[in-house]
Amino acid sequence: MTEANRKRQEIIGNLRLIWKEPLLLVFIIAIFYFLLIFVIFPLFMVFKSSLIVDKQFDFSNYLAIFSKRYYFQPFINSMILGVLAATAGTILGFVFAYAITRTPIPFKRFFRMTATFPIISPPFVVALAAILLFGRAGSLTPVLSRIIGEYSIYGLGGLVLVETIAYGPIAFLVLYGVLQAIDPALEEAAMDLGASRARVFATVTLPLSVPGIASAWLLVFIESMADFGNPMILSGNFRVLSVQAFLQITGMYDISRGSTLAILLLLPTVTAFFIQKYWVARKSYVTVTGQPTGATIQRLEWYIKLPTYAACFFFTGIVFLFYGMVIWGSFQKLWGVDATFTLHNYVEMFQVGKGYIFDSLKVSTWATPITGLLGMFIAFLVIRKKFIGRTTMEFVSMLTFAVPGTVVGIGYILAFNQKSALFPFVLTGTAWIIVTLLIFRNMPVGIRAGIAALQQIDPSIEEASTDLGADSSKTFRKITLPMIAPAFFSGLAFSFVKAMTAISAIIFVVSGDWNLITVAILGFVDNSQYAQAAAMSLLLIVIVLIALSIIQLLVGRIGKGARTVSIVD
C-alpha cells in the first residue's frame, strides 16, 4: 500500500468510527465552533484592525515598526524585560530546585510552599509590595538610598526584581520536576568514575537539565513579557508593549495602533511557546512523571551547601518581606503620610468594594466549572478518540496559553461589540464577555488537568472492576471517579485562582455593570491609595487560599492516595 493510500484508508476508518457515534460528532463540531469563535476570531480581529488605518486597508503600521519610536521602543523594552526576568528567574528557580532535590536542606516542605506562593497570589501584589518597600514613601527607601544613593523603583530595575519574584516560582516548579526526575544514580556513577562534585555538575547534572532550563526560561520569558499588572504599576517611563497597547486603546482610542502593539507582543511569546513545546520538549532526556526517583546526596561539601542554603533563605525571606509588607500596609491610615494603626481600610473595603468582590466571585464561580468540564472533555477527545482535526484541536486550545492577555482582551472587545455572521450576539458590557474570556483563557489549565486525570487510568483497571462483577455505573462511581477527581478538582482550584486574579485581558472587557476586584486594586494603586490596595489584595489572597483549602479537603475526601495535578507543565 502506498503512503497516500494508507492515509486515505485511515481517514475513512476514522470517519466510520465517528458515524457510529453521532453524539460525539455533535460535540466535536460544537467544540470546533467555540474554539473558532472565542480563540481564533478575536485573534483575527486584532490582526485585522492592525491593518486598518482611518478605515482604509493599510500596511503602514507594519512598515512603521522600525521607524516609529512608539513601536520599536516598547518592543525592545519588553524584550529586555523578558530576557532579564527570565534569566534571573531561571537562575533563582534552579538554585532553589537544586537545594530541595539534591541537598539535605531542612524544612523542604516549608521552602517549597513559600517558593510557590507567588503563583497563587495575584501577580501585581508583588509590584504593590515593591512600592510599599522601595517607593517614594517606602519603608526601606531611606536605608537603601543611603547605601546606593538616589534611585527609583519605577523602571526597568524595579520591574525585573518584581517579575523575578512573581514568575521565578514557575521556573522553580519546572526545574524541581526535572531535577527530581534525574536519577541520582547517574550522578553517583560519574562520581564513582572519579569526577569531582563540580565535574559531576558540569558533565551530568547540568547537561541533563538543559532542556528543563530552556523550558523554564521560555515560560518565565512569556509570562513576564505578557504581564500587565506589574508594569502598569511599576514601569514608570519604561514603556512596555502590554501597557502601551492598553493606553493607546483606552486612553487615545487608537484601536489600530493598539492592535499593532498587541501583535508585536504576540509574536515573541508565541515563538517562545513553540520553541518550548515542539523543540525543547523533544530534546528532553528525562520524563517528568511526578514520581520522585530517590534519595538526596548525603555527603555534601560545605561550599555547595552554604551558597544554596543562603539563596533559599534569602529568597524565602524576600517573599515573606514582600507579602508581610502588604499586610502591614493594609493597617495604616494613609500610606506614607499617617502610619496610625487602623481597621478603616477593611471597613471601607467592604462598604465600597463589596460590589467588586461579589462580581469577581460570581464570574469566577460561573467560569470555573465550565473551564474544568470543557478542559476534561477536550482532553478526553484528544487522548482517547481518533478524529480528523484532532491535532488541530489540541493545537488551538493550547495556543491560548501563549497569547498574552492584552491581545486576547483587545480581541474580545473588537470581536464581540457587534453582531457578526459567525456569532449573532453582542457581549460587550455583559457578564458573558468576562465569563467566556475567563473560560477560554484558563482552558489550558483545564485541559492539562484533564490529561493528567485520564493518564491516571489504565483501561485495564476499569476492566478489572467489571471483571469482578461491578456494572459500568458502579465501576464509574467506585473506580473511575475517585481516580479522576483529584486531578480534576486541582484543575478547578487553579482555574478559580487564575480567574480571581486575572487582570491583563479582563481590564479591557470590564464595564460599569460588571467590575472586578483586580481592576479595583489597580485603580487604588493608580490613585496612590496603597493602604486600600493592600487591604483588598489581602482579601483576594485570603479568598484564594480558602478556595484552595476547600478543594484540598474535597480531594482528600474523595481520592485518597491519588495524585494531584501539577500547576505548570
Query: What residues line the site for another protein (CB under 8 A)?
Result: 183, 185-186, 188-197, 199, 203-204, 207-208, 285-286, 298-299
DSSP string, 516-528: -HHHHHHHHHHTT
Pick between residue 137 and residue 191 the one whose CB is nearest to another protein. Answer: 191
Pick between residue 88 and residue 204 the one whose CB is nearest to another protein. Answer: 204
Shortest distance in whole angstroms from residue 298 CB to another protein:
7
CA dist., res. 353 & res. 342, Å (int): 18
Pick between residue 68 and residue 197 the one whose CB is nearest to another protein. Answer: 197
* Cα separations in angstroms, 57 against 43, 48, 51, 330: 17, 9, 6, 51
Shortest distance in whole angstroms from residue 170 CB to another protein:
25
Number of neighbouring beta carbons within 10 Å of residue 140? 13
Cell numbers linked to 79: 524584550
Pick between residue 116 and residue 284 the one whose CB is nearest to another protein. Answer: 284
Our CA angle for 214, 220, 223, nearest 5°, is: 140
CA dist., res. 394 & res. 35, Å (int): 10
DSSP 339: E
CA dist., res. 517 & res. 108, Å (int): 34
Pick between residue 144 and residue 191 the one whose CB is nearest to another protein. Answer: 191
Shortest distance in whole angstroms from residue 476 CB to another protein:
37
Shortest distance in whole angstroms from residue 312 CB to another protein:
24
CA dist., res. 112 & res. 45, Å (int): 42
Q: Nearest to residue 443, comparing CAs of 516, 370, 364, 548?
A: 370
Runs of H (alpha helix) within 331-428: 344-352, 354-384, 390-402, 405-416
Cell numbers linked to 47: 490582526
Shortest distance in whole angstroms from residue 297 CB to another protein:
8
Pick between residue 203 and residue 271 the one whose CB is nearest to another protein. Answer: 203
Shortest distance in whole angstroms from residue 105 CB to another protein:
18
Number of neighbouring beta carbons within 10 Å of residue 40? 16
Pick between residue 33 and residue 279 the one whose CB is nearest to another protein. Answer: 279
Pick between residue 47 and residue 285 the one whose CB is nearest to another protein. Answer: 285
DSSP 560: T
Shortest distance in whole angstroms from residue 209 CB to another protein:
10
CA dist., res. 248 & res. 413, Å (int): 14
Pick between residue 190 and residue 535 the one whose CB is nearest to another protein. Answer: 190
Shortest distance in whole angstroms from residue 407 CB to another protein:
37
* Cα separations in angstroms, 119 against 223, 416, 494, 498, 501: 11, 31, 10, 9, 10
Pick between residue 279 and residue 358 the one whose CB is nearest to another protein. Answer: 279
Number of neighbouring beta carbons within 10 Å of residue 146? 8
Give burial (CB, 10 Å; 0-12/13-18/19+) of 16: exposed
Pick between residue 191 and residue 275 the one whose CB is nearest to another protein. Answer: 191
Number of neighbouring beta carbons within 10 Å of residue 257? 22
Pick between residue 133 and residue 208 the one whose CB is nearest to another protein. Answer: 208
Pick between residue 156 and residue 191 the one whose CB is nearest to another protein. Answer: 191
Q: Which residue has the cell 530595575?
A: 157
Shortest distance in whole angstroms from residue 202 CB to another protein:
11
Pick between residue 199 and residue 333 the one whose CB is nearest to another protein. Answer: 199
CA dist., res. 65 & res. 148, Å (int): 37
* Cα separations in angstroms, 380 against 28, 169, 261, 394, 457: 11, 29, 37, 11, 12
Shortest distance in whole angstroms from residue 474 CB to another protein:
37
CA dist., res. 35 & res. 547, Å (int): 28
Shortest distance in whole angstroms from residue 220 CB to another protein:
24
> By the 8 A CB rule, do 9 and 394 touch?
no
Shortest distance in whole angstroms from residue 47 CB to another protein:
41
Shortest distance in whole angstroms from residue 181 CB to another protein:
11
Instruction: Go through the chain and tell me how many residues it has.
Output: 569
DSSP 311: H
Shortest distance in whole angstroms from residue 292 CB to another protein:
15
Q: Assign 3-class secondary structure to 365-385.
A: HHHHHHHHHHHHHHHHHHHHC
SS3 83: helix
CA dist., res. 304 & res. 298, Å (int): 12
